[in-house]
Amino acid sequence: MSLNATDPSLGILLPDPKTMAIGITSIPSPIRDTVIGSWLNWMLMGTLIVQTYFYQTHFSNDRSLIRGLVYSVVALDVAQTVVGSHAVWRHTVAKWNEPSSLFEFTWSIAVLVTFAGFISVIVQLFYCWRIWILAANNLWMRGMALVIVLISLSQAAVGIVSSIVFQLHASQEQLLKYHPQFTYTISGGFLADTLITGSMIYILRNARNSQGTFNHMGGTLDRLINNALQTGFVTMTCAAVDLALFVTVTTANYHYTPTFILGKLYSNSLLATLNARSRVGKNTAAEDSLYLPNAGSMSLQVARAVESSTDEDTLTHSRKRGKVGPWGS
């Protein structure tokens, strides 16, 4: 970049506009994509805080394991938000007006992938547990749950290890070198989300279509189906966009934006699923095991609305029974 003009009012040299324009257009700047991703990330963080507050006020009596899972995911997402903000700060403030920094890969971008890997595998394993519980006597669906577990664990492991190794010698050449590993991570997450959503809809629709005389459960199952479809569709769509951008556009950083928000979408999906119990029924405090006959003789445990006041005897009886269902109550 050459300097060939002087601003009379400031007495400083100004860059040659032609040279500057050529330089900017030839640099694959990550600033735009990280800023947009960070904005969306903070917006989803606000949604996550609201959902966490709702969960705490309505379902504080959930099992310790489920509450620990929720708070762990939220803590990871808070840390992810801080790391993502560092990436934006570095490009827009700390390294502002340093064109060479646009070619550098900051450690926080690699850590974003690591956090997304941890959050995705935690949430996907939770959904696999739900499938395992719901498909109590269906060996095919339980086998599918195990397949999803393997896919989820493998994609998370590959993504986490690759991002750590990549950061040791971060460069565009290294990114291209590890392109297959990151592609597997993103595509594996997309495949796991697709299988989870399809499995949940299959199980719940079978229950809906073969409930027999249990007509009062139809509305509840319809709401569960809609919830499974909506929460699964969000993460599937983001993973698909991330995969498409990462694979097809290797000379730019468009995939940064979905990478920033993917972890938040998993966390919000988890809490939306747990909080949906308030819509399924009033003051859901217990679960009843229902046998819903169908072609596969599937025994389902479905979270059923228990319309009652906060009768301590009823709640105590429910806790003493110690029944564990797919909602984690």
- Domain-embedded: residue 168: yes
Compute the average pLDDT of residues 168-192.
77
User: Of the given ranges (23-32, 76-85, 210-219, 306-315), which has the lowest mean pLDDT?
Assistant: 306-315
320 found inside a domain: no
Does residue 13 lie within any of the structural domains? no
- Residue 139 CA to residue 160 CA, distance in Å, equals 32
CB 44 within 8 A of CB 78: no
Give me the residue label for tokens 């620990």.
68
The residue whose two tokens read 């005389």 is 213
The secondary structure of 85-137 as a DSSP string is HHHHHIIIIITTT-GGGGG---HHHHHHHHHHHHHHHHHHHHHHHHHHHHSTT
Q: Report the SS3 class of residue 14.
A: strand
Predicted model pTM: 0.73
* Residue 86: other Cβ atoms inside 10 A: 18
Copy the structure tokens of residue 170: 């971060």
Please say if the pLDDT value at position 42 is more than 90. Answer: yes
Asked if residue 326 is part of any domain, the answer here is no
With 0-12 / 13-18 / 19 or more C-beta atoms within 10 angstroms meaning exposed / middle / buried, residue 316 is exposed
Name the residue with higher pLDDT: 210 or 147.
147
Show Cβ contacts of residue 145 under 8 Å, excluding neighbours closer than 6 positions.
Answer: 128, 129, 131, 132, 135, 199
CATH number at residue 37: 1.20.1070
pLDDT digits (tens, 9 = 90+) for 73-111: 999 999 999 998 988 888 777 777 766 666 666 778 778
The pLDDT assigned to 50 comes to 96
Note whether 200 and 226 are within 8 A (CB). Answer: no
Sign of CA dihedral 113, 116, 122, 127: negative
Looking at residue 322, its pLDDT comes to 46
* 237-296 residue pLDDT tens: 898 998 898 888 877 778 888 988 999 999 999 999 899 887 655 433 333 333 333 323
**160 within 8 A of 118, measured Cβ to Cβ:** yes
Antiparallel, parallel or unpaired: β 12-15 and 3-7: antiparallel
Number of domains the chain is built from = 1
H or E stretch covering 300 = strand 299-302
CA–CA dist 20, 26 (Å, integer) = 10
Residue for token digits 């595998």? 121
What burial letters (b/e) apply to 46-68, b meaning 16+ CB within 10 Å?
eebeebbeebeeebeebeeebbe
In a domain, 4, yes or no: no
What is the span of the domain harbouring residue 37?
Answer: 29-305
In a domain, 244, yes or no: yes
Residue 234 reports pLDDT greater than 90? no
Residue 228 lies in a domain: yes
Residue count (the chain): 329
Domain-located, residue 316: no
